[in-house]
């Protein structure tokens, strides 16, 4: 069985940095409805060859059926001037037979809506994420999943001088940071709220996406636009501790290389992801899920996040609950979706049964 921690959040409020003036800013006519077309990103040729690539490669996002998803629409949503993100809307099982290109109105039908924020690798089409969408679809949830804008640039000198821009999925190839990832998430949330009516909206963040989710929800709570629920899957306290405790940095720890070359530069580059700070501003019912056999994010970092939330969230905040999954379930970092008790755990959160 999984183990559960529960808090009533009897503690003082602490400050949280928020995005000002957050309000619904999208009009339905601004949404790019496209089932077959991916916006083009031009390749520029100057004195040095510049090459634009997308990761993962050779993935067709415009046809979710290829990935085993029925009743799913692909479209592109503007989140900033000249910036768009690729989005999938996965319909609940009971609505799959009514699928059409205009699925927004179905968001108000009363089925809970999950806004899914994925981690730092792959895309919305990555296997374990698709399996979670299928599970949620089977249990009659809407799922809205998207890929953040973003790219990394580097120079390859193997065959002359080639400047390589590596963009993720089919969203805009512009430089990514903690703030812009959070803005993208807020814009998708605003889109959902345009059509959701009284349906329950759940923000679900996995791994790095949990850090985006926490900062996003804290910002929304500050302006009284909170989602109804928050799920944090395999989260961590801050990205510095993740670097320090990642398996790949083990041999460098005695040399202080990790701190000097990585962790000390994170805040300067706007990728600190201080979830243990931002969670103070989260006021909606929050569920933390973590597997004890997670080798990417050690569970003690999640326990630190939980303790930070327990101590810093305001006295009027809703409950914060922490559920750990035992090693014999083999959930690891990515497969909590396979835990047999997960559907009932989520339903209890929706119903606020035990919260």
Kindly list the catalytic residues: 207, 294, 333
Written as six digits, the tokens of 55 are 């990761």
CA 196 – CA 315 distance, rounded (Å): 29
Spatial separation of the C-alpha atoms in residues 239 and 93, rounded to whole Å: 37
Q: How far is CA 318 from the centre of its chain?
A: 21
DSSP 8-state class, residue 290 = E
CA separation for the pair 187, 174 (Å, rounded): 16
Q: What are the residues whose beta carbons fall under 8 Å from the beta carbon of 151, sequence distance 6 or more?
A: 165, 166, 167, 168, 173, 174, 175, 176
User: What is the C-alpha to C-alpha distance for residues 184 and 83, in angstroms, rounded to an integer?
Assistant: 9
- Would you say 327 and 293 are in contact if contact means Cβ atoms under 8 Å apart? yes
Angle at alpha carbon of residue 239, lines to 236 and 244, rounded to 5°: 100
Q: Cα 115 to chain center, whole Å?
A: 8
Those residues whose C-beta lies under 8 Å from the C-beta of residue 129, and which sit 6 or more positions away, are: 116, 118, 122, 145, 206
């Amino acid at each position: 069985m999984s183990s559960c921690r529960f808090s009533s959040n009897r503690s003082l409020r602490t400050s949280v940095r928020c995005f000002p003036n957050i309000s619904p800013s999208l009009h339905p006519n601004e949404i790019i409805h496209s089932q077959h077309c991916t916006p083009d990103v031009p390749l520029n040729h100057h004195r040095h060859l510049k090459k634009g690539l997308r990761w993962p490669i050779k993935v067709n996002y415009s046809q979710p059926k290829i990935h085993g998803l029925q009743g799913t629409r692909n479209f592109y949503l503007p989140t900033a001037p000249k910036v768009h993100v690729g989005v999938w809307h996965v319909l609940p099982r009971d609505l799959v037979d009514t699928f059409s290109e205009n699925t927004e109105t179905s968001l108000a039908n009363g089925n809970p809506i999950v806004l899914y924020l994925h981690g730092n690798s792959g895309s919305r089409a990555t296997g374990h994420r698709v399996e979670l969408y299928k599970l949620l679809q089977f249990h009659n949830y809407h799922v809205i999943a998207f890929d953040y804008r973003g790219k990394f640039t580097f120079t390859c000198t193997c065959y002359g001088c080639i400047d390589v821009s590596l963009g993720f999925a089919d969203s805009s190839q512009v430089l990514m940071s903690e703030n812009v990832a959070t803005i993208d998430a807020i814009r998708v949330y605003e889109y959902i709220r345009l059509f959701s009516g009284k349906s329950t909206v759940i923000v679900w963040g996995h791994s790095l996406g949990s850090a985006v989710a926490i900062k996003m929800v804290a910002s929304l709570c500050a302006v009284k636009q909170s989602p109804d629920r928050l799920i944090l899957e395999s989260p961590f306290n801050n990205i510095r501790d993740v670097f320090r405790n990642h398996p790949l940095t083990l041999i460098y720890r005695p040399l202080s290389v990790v701190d000097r070359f990585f962790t000390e530069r994170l805040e300067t580059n706007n990728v600190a992801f201080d979830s243990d700070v931002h969670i103070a501003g989260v006021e909606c019912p929050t569920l933390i899920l973590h597997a004890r056999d997670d080798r990417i994010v050690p569970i003690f970092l999640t326990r630190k996040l939980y303790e930070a939330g327990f101590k810093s969230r305001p006295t009027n905040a809703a409950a914060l609950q922490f559920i750990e999954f035992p090693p014999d379930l083999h959930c690891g970092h990515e497969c909590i979706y396979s835990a047999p008790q997960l559907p009932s755990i989520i339903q209890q959160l929706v119903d606020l049964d035990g919260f």
